[in-house]
Amino acid sequence: MRSPTFKTSYLPEYLAWLMFLAGVANATLIWSGVYAAAPQTLLVLLGGLLGTTGIALLGLLMLATWCALGLLLAALTRRVLEGRS
């Protein structure tokens, strides 16, 4: 039985899902009223100018940011792992 190599590792996918779950947690905190989970500048701009809609948009923005970071981290990890083999 062959042992799994780094090339067939699922590490990039796990990292992407982990970052997605972090984004879900961050957006949920923002939507539930824990505004310390958001950057203060965006909170003042979106919450102050748009009210409740701004807070909803801020949660979506944070979720999209975490997802984009997760995909970037997964792509970089995959490139590093493929470069080693």
Q: Give me the pLDDT at residue 67, please.
A: 92
What angle, rounded to 10 degrees, do the helices at 52-84 and 11-31 form?
170
Q: Which positions ≥6 away from 56 have C-beta within 8 Å?
A: 31
pLDDT at 24: 93
Residue 1 belongs to some domain of the structure: no
pTM of this structure: 0.74
**Quick one: which of 40, 36, 37, 41 has its CA closest to 62?**
37
Q: What is the pLDDT at residue 12?
A: 84
Q: Strand, coil or helix: what is 8?
A: coil
Q: Which domain holds residue 38?
A: 11-84
Q: From the first residue on, what is the mean pLDDT of each consecutive set of 10 residues in the chain (85 residues)?
A: 59 88 91 83 83 88 92 89 77
Residue 3 in any domain: the answer is no
Q: Which tokens sit at 7?
A: 């090339």
Q: Is residue 4 part of a domain?
A: no
How confident is the model at residue 72, as a pLDDT? Answer: 92
In a domain, 75, yes or no: yes
Number of independent structural domains in the chain = 1
